[in-house]
Amino acid sequence: MPEIILSTEILAQIAQYNIMLGATVTNNSDLKRIYDNDCISFLSIEPLLEELNCETFFSRQPHYDGDDVKKYDWMIIGAETGKRKNKVVPKPEWIEQIVKECRTWDIPIFMKKSIKPYWDRELITEFPWVKKF
């Protein structure tokens, strides 16, 4: 089967029409992988395996429109599930740091149920297509 390759410019044009292209981020090395990708509109931080370097990451968001930074449209946060022997347990401060940066950049957050044992407040379940007032 032939491989189809689309440029990021073409993907960006397509994505503006009812498509959200996301990327999975579980650790800091994943963040480096997505820095220069103009097509990604949301991040799924699941499972959260380590404290993310959020300040550096959020200040380097790769979406630009002229001189204005175009933020990510959505962040999804979840924890590792299952009964793996050395399962990573996210620390509440890791989650809080992500939430703080999302609030600073006005990015909606959706917390999956798997994060509840590590988050002592009500889960945040926001969607990018619901207008904030």
Domain layout of the chain by residue ranges = 8-118
Strand partners, 56: none
pLDDT of residue 78: 96
* Each residue's pLDDT tens digit, 13-32: 666 666 777 888 888 888 77
Q: How many CB atoms lie within 10 A of CB 79?
A: 24
On average, the pLDDT of the chain sits at: 79
- Residue 91 CA to residue 96 CA, distance in Å, equals 9
* Bridging pattern class, strands 68-69 and 64-65: antiparallel
pLDDT of residue 73: 84
- Residue 30 CA to residue 98 CA, distance in Å, equals 15
> Residue 56 pLDDT > 80, yes or no?
no
Percent residues over pLDDT 90 in the chain: 35
Q: Under a CB-based contact definition with an 8 Å cutoff, are residues 16 and 39 in contact?
A: no
* Each residue's pLDDT tens digit, 72-117: 788 999 999 988 888 899 999 999 999 998 898 888 999 999 999 9
126 pLDDT band (50/70/90 cuts)? Answer: very high
Element (H, E) at 44: strand 42-45
pLDDT of residue 105: 82
- Residue 113 CA to residue 124 CA, distance in Å, equals 10
> Residue 38 pLDDT > 60, yes or no?
yes
